[in-house]
């Protein structure tokens, strides 16, 4: 860990990686508690995997039709498809009468398959794909940090405006509707925020594993807090620690920092479950 700080002086990427982790912590610390409370972890996973389809489509279009789509970056495709995925899943969630989980699972798999397929048909060797799928916290650019900060601002701003509605639909959607809340709109906005959070987390842990950072710190926080506000605060703090300490811990070893972050989040959650179990609480 000391090596990490010593090298930070002449390796800018160590600093940007650290900042990326902290910026991502804001997004997943704020949205994670809603995801866990509203029980939409699975939906969030589907949104993340549909973003892979968007990355594939963006790479394919930019390479095959450079005249029209040269400007299209993979991140654009990811944002668009994640948001579109959020809207589609939100509408299905509201309307579907049966086999909701199967439908979501289908979207999850199709999104991923489309992405992999399009990348395979994109000329050239796409190394970039791996960094979207598995994260690349070792090489975060200042532009990436700018995007993450902007996403954080949107997420935090929207939650500050809509928190009361979000909490109401978590507690009792029917009552929220009777109180004049447009439940469908609130659900869609929440899922769009999940989509933006997914994008924010892409560089830190990769799309395949965003679900870990989205739900594990929040679920751990839920064990030790009793209100939404404190759950968000604790989850943000845990995310901040989880995206920095394991990264520093494995610095210089062959362990990839992204897996270290996810394993630490998972380990902490399991410990928290066991702790509650031993103390006799509910799990």
Interface residues with other proteins (CB under 8 A) are 33, 37, 159-165, 167-168, 170-172, 174-181, 222, 225-228, 230-231
Tell me the DSSP string of 195-264: HHHHHHHHHHH-GGGHHHHHHHHHHHHHHH-SSHHHHHHHHHHHHHHHHHHHHHHTTTSSS-HHHHHHHH
Closer to other proteins by CB, 124 or 180: give it: 180
| Residue 239 CB, nearest approach to other proteins (Å) | 17
For residues 259 and 256, give the distance between their C-alpha atoms in angstroms, rounded to a whole number.
Answer: 6
Closer to other proteins by CB, 43 or 145: give it: 43
| Residue 49 CB, nearest approach to other proteins (Å) | 26
For residues 194 and 203, give the distance between their C-alpha atoms in angstroms, rounded to a whole number.
Answer: 16
User: Please, are residues 236 and 25 in contact by the beta-carbon 8 Å criterion?
Assistant: yes
Closer to other proteins by CB, 2 or 178: give it: 178
Grouping H, G, I as helix, E, B as strand and the rest as coil, residue 170 is: helix
User: Please, are residues 188 and 238 in contact by the beta-carbon 8 Å criterion?
Assistant: no
User: Please, are residues 155 and 225 in contact by the beta-carbon 8 Å criterion?
Assistant: no
| Residue 232 CB, nearest approach to other proteins (Å) | 9
| Residue 236 CB, nearest approach to other proteins (Å) | 14
Instruction: Name all contacts of 162-166 with Cβ < 8 Å and 24+ positions apart.
Output: 162/186, 162/189, 163/228, 166/34, 166/38, 166/190
| Residue 157 CB, nearest approach to other proteins (Å) | 11
Closer to other proteins by CB, 10 or 279: give it: 279
For residues 105 and 162, give the distance between their C-alpha atoms in angstroms, rounded to a whole number.
Answer: 29
Closer to other proteins by CB, 32 or 54: give it: 32
For residues 252 and 8, give the distance between their C-alpha atoms in angstroms, rounded to a whole number.
Answer: 13
Closer to other proteins by CB, 73 or 184: give it: 184
Closer to other proteins by CB, 52 or 168: give it: 168
Of 43, 77, 62, the C-alpha closest to 188 is: 43
Query: Tokens standing for 273?
Result: 């479950």
């Amino acid at each position: 860990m000391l090596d990490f700080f010593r090298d930070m002086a002449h390796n800018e990427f160590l600093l940007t990686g650290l900042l990326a982790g902290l910026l991502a912590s804001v997004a997943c610390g704020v949205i994670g508690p809603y995801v866990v409370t509203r029980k939409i972890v699975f939906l969030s996973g589907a949104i993340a995997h549909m973003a892979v389809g968007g990355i594939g489509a963006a790479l394919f279009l930019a390479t095959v039709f450079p005249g029209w789509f040269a400007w299209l970056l993979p991140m654009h495709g990811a944002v668009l498809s994640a948001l579109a995925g959020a809207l589609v899943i939100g509408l299905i969630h509201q309307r579907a009468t049966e086999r909701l989980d199967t439908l979501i699972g289908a979207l999850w798999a199709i999104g991923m398959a489309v992405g992999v397929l399009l990348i395979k048909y994109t000329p050239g060797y796409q190394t970039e794909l791996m960094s979207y799928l598995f994260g690349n916290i070792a090489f975060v650019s200042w532009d990436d940090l700018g995007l993450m900060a902007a996403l954080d601002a949107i997420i935090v701003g929207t939650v500050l405006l809509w928190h009361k509605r979000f909490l109401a639909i978590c507690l009792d959607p029917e009552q929220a509707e009777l109180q004049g809340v447009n439940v469908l709109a609130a659900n869609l906005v929440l899922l769009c925020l999940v989509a933006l959070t997914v994008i924010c987390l892409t560089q830190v842990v990769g799309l395949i594993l965003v679900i870990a950072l989205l739900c594990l710190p929040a679920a751990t926080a839920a064990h030790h807090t009793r209100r939404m506000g404190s759950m968000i605060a604790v989850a943000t703090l845990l995310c901040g620690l989880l995206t920095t300490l394991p990264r520093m811990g494995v610095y210089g070893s062959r362990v990839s920092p992204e897996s270290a972050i996810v394993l630490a989040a998972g380990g902490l959650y399991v410990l928290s479950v066991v702790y509650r179990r031993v103390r006799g609480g509910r799990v």
